[in-house]
Each structure stands twice: as structure tokens, then as C-alpha cells.
């Protein structure tokens, strides 16, 4: 039985070509700034995102935390969506390790921050208050359904931030998915943020790694925090080579993942009791299932070789490199069989 792994796009394995690029990478000590492949990846990423500089980090979580630490001082408050990955899924690193307060504001169904709430959450200068240090935004938005924030959405947030002189950090773990879905260069989506994290290790298919981008000065400081967080890697060119391959050869194919997600959604909505929550815009498909305990359904699906997660009352299927249209059809047919057999 073929296992169809829809748990996350983080499960993607490097292609043979990517592995060859890794094996052939020219290496040096990156903590000393001497790994030519890391340096090339960083230059390439900075250029693609329209930023001055970039830094290879171990993970999206590390990139986001390094960014928060660089933008803020201990005791500062960071405004973040209540559904943000940084708030929900990053182990509380910002407050545990950074002494930062995360002040949540609601996300709307599209993953945007409620701008009225953002304005209201920004602190005024007063001896009694913590200082607001940063506003964080996420694109695509994971928990809101892989939803895409447009250039206009990001410009509106920038406007609010500028009125109060605040920087904006963009958690763009899946920013390339957003760019492909909107058919705009990724730099246009990065333009309104002071710093951006994006992941190489999700739909772009690299085994490890994320990149933090910003001004030269910001990245120089973030580099110190990366070291503090244990992310100073040595011959990291083996990882960077996969990242270079990913940026050169894996971006356009994200459109296939989005097509497969739409195909999954078409099939799911034909099944009685299933509702899309919401219809997919990129490669994440969330749905609710009436009449089932979702943990039980996930276990039954696992028995028939379909892997996925349930979270907050929904099941998530993620399409990615390694999942073909035929796998989506097969997953749908196994789901129908499980549901027909009953809870």
C-alpha cells in the first residue's frame, strides 16, 4: 500500500538533482563567513526578495525568533495575529527567551490583521506601559487556511505601522506560495516588511533551512542572535546548495501543489458531512467532518495509508512535491471508504 503523506509540506524529500547539488557544493566555515555556497544563497535570496542582505537559519522558528530579538528590546510588546504561527506554534520562544510580550489581535478569515485592533493595540509612550516594538504578519497564513495576503493588504498594514514609526516582520514561511498564487514577483510581497523569513524546507523541497532577509545592518545584528540561538552552522553549504537549487528550480512548480489542493477540495466537498474550512487558495486544505471525532478519523486514515493531522476542529491536508494528482484521487477514495464504513 502506498503511503500518502499529507501531514505537511515539511515532509518533502530532496530530488535526485537537489541531492547532486548538495554533494557537489563548495564548502567553508560559515560562522567565519567563509562558506561560498551559503554566501551565494544569501545573495540570491536577498536579491529575489528585494532586500539588502539575507541570513541562512536552521528553521522558520529560528528565523522568526532572531527577527523578533533583533527588532525589539526585552520587555517590548510585539503585535501579532491570534492565529499566527509565531504565537501558537513557536514554543513561546519570544517570551521565554526574549522577554517579549506577544499582544494578540484577531486575524480575519483571510489571515489579515484587524487594522482597527492593531491601531488600538499600539502603546502610547507612558512610564506605565511596555513599548510596542514590532508588528508581525504571516503570508500565506497557515491556520487561516493557507490564505494569501495581497500587496494591498500588506500596504494597508504598512501604513498603520508607519503612522507610529514601527517596523513590520513578515513570517513568509510560504511566501513563495503566495507569490505564485498571486502571480507577482515575491519581492512585491516582501516590499512592505522590514524583515522577512521564508522557508526552503517546505514546498520548495529542501531538507533543511530558512532565510531571514532585511537591511544589511539588521542582518548583521540578527547574525549574532542566530549564533546565540545555536544556529551558527559550519559547512552549511551542503544545506545552502539545496536552497539554491530550490530557488532556481522549485518555485514555479508550487502552482501544481495549488492545483492538486483545488482537486482535493473539489473531491472533499462532494462527500456528505465534509465542509471546506475555508476553500484552499494555495497548498493547505482544511476541512470539517460532521459526525466524527477527528482524532479517530485521523487514526482510521492512517490505517489505510493516508497521513494527516487534525487541529482545532479541522483536518488539514497539505499538497507538496511528491504528491501527484493520482495520490490526491487515491486519498479521496480511501477517505470515502473509511467514512462509508462508519465511525
Q: Which residues bind ligand TLP (CB under 6 A)?
A: 8, 10, 59-61, 85, 89, 138, 142, 171, 173, 199, 201, 210
When the beta carbons of 161 and 212 are compared against ligand TLP, the nearer one is 212
Distance CA 89, CA 59 (A): 13
Provide, rounded to whole angstroms, the least separation between the CB of residue 129 and ligand TLP.
Answer: 29
When the beta carbons of 42 and 59 are compared against ligand TLP, the nearer one is 59
Is there a contact between 112 and 106 (Cβ–Cβ < 8 Å)? no
**Run of H or E including 309:** strand 309-311
**Alpha helices, DSSP H only, in the chain?**
16-23, 36-49, 60-71, 85-88, 93-98, 115-121, 151-163, 175-182, 186-190, 216-228, 237-249, 254-269, 294-303, 325-341
Got the DSSP string for 57-115? ES-HHHHHHHHHHHH--TT-EEEEETT-HHHHSSTTHHHHHH-PEEEEE-B-TTS-B-H
Closest CA to 186 of 97, 246, 126, 268: 246
Distance CA 299, CA 189 (A): 38
When the beta carbons of 231 and 267 are compared against ligand TLP, the nearer one is 231
When the beta carbons of 122 and 192 are compared against ligand TLP, the nearer one is 192
Q: 268: which 3 cell numbers?
A: 472533499
Provide, rounded to whole angstroms, the least separation between the CB of residue 4 and ligand TLP.
Answer: 16
Plot region of 183 (φ>0 → left; ψ -120 to 50 → alpha; else → beta): left
When the beta carbons of 51 and 174 are compared against ligand TLP, the nearer one is 174
When the beta carbons of 10 and 15 are compared against ligand TLP, the nearer one is 10
Provide, rounded to whole angstroms, the least separation between the CB of residue 89 and ligand TLP.
Answer: 5
**Exposure class string for 235-272: b at 16+ Cβ within 10 A, else e:** bbbbbbbbbbbbbeebbeebebbbebbbbbbebbeeee
Is there a contact between 5 and 319 (Cβ–Cβ < 8 Å)? no
When the beta carbons of 109 and 270 are compared against ligand TLP, the nearer one is 109
When the beta carbons of 89 and 129 are compared against ligand TLP, the nearer one is 89
Amino acid at each position: 500500500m502506498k503511503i500518502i503523506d499529507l501531514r505537511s509540506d515539511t515532509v518533502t524529500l530532496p530530488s535526485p538533482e537537489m541531492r547532486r547539488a548538495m554533494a557537489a557544493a563548495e564548502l567553508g566555515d560559515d560562522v567565519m563567513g567563509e562558506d561560498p555556497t551559503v554566501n551565494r544563497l544569501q545573495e540570491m535570496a536577498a536579491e529575489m526578495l528585494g532586500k539588502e542582505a539575507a541570513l541562512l537559519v536552521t528553521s522558520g522558528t529560528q528565523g522568526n525568533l532572531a527577527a523578533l530579538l533583533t527588532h525589539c528590546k526585552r520587555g517590548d510588546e510585539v503585535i501579532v495575529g491570534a492565529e499566527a504561527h509565531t504565537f501558537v506554534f513557536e514554543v513561546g520562544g519570544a517570551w521565554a527567551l526574549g522577554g517579549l510580550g506577544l499582544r494578540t489581535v484577531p486575524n480575519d478569515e483571510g489571515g489579515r490583521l484587524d487594522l482597527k485592533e492593531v491601531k488600538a493595540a499600539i502603546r502610547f509612550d507612558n512610564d506605565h506601559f511596555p513599548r510596542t516594538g514590532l508588528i508581525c504578519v504571516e503570508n500565506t497564513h497557515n491556520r487561516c487556511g493557507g490564505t494569501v495576503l495581497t500587496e494591498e493588504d500588506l500596504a494597508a498594514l504598512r501604513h498603520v505601522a508607519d503612522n507610529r514609526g514601527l517596523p513590520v516582520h513578515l513570517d513568509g514561511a510560504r511566501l513563495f506560495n503566495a507569490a505564485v498564487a498571486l502571480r507577482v514577483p515575491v519581492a512585491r510581497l516582501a516590499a512592505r516588511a522590514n524583515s522577512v523569513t521564508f522557508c526552503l524546507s517546505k514546498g520548495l523541497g529542501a531538507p533543511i533551512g530558512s532565510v531571514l532577509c532585511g537591511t544589511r545592518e539588521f542582518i548583521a545584528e540578527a547574525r549574532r542572535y542566530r549564533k546565540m540561538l545555536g544556529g551558527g552552522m559550519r559547512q552549511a553549504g551542503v544545506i545552502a546548495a539545496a536552497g539554491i537549487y530550490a530557488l532556481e528550480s522549485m518555485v514555479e512548480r508550487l502552482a501544481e501543489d495549488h492545483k492538486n489542493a483545488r482537486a482535493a477540495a473539489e473531491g472533499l466537498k462532494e462527500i456528505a458531512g465534509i465542509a471546506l474550512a475555508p476553500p484552499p487558495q494555495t497548498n493547505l486544505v482544511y476541512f470539517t467532518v460532521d459526525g466524527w471525532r477527528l482524532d479517530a478519523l485521523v487514526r482510521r486514515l492512517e490505517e489505510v495509508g493516508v497521513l494527516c493531522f487534525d487541529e482545532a476542529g479541522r483536518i488539514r491536508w497539505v499538497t507538496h512535491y511528491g504528491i501527484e494528482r493520482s495520490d490526491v484521487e487515491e486519498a479521496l477514495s480511501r477517505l470515502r471508504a473509511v467514512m462509508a464504513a462508519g465511525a
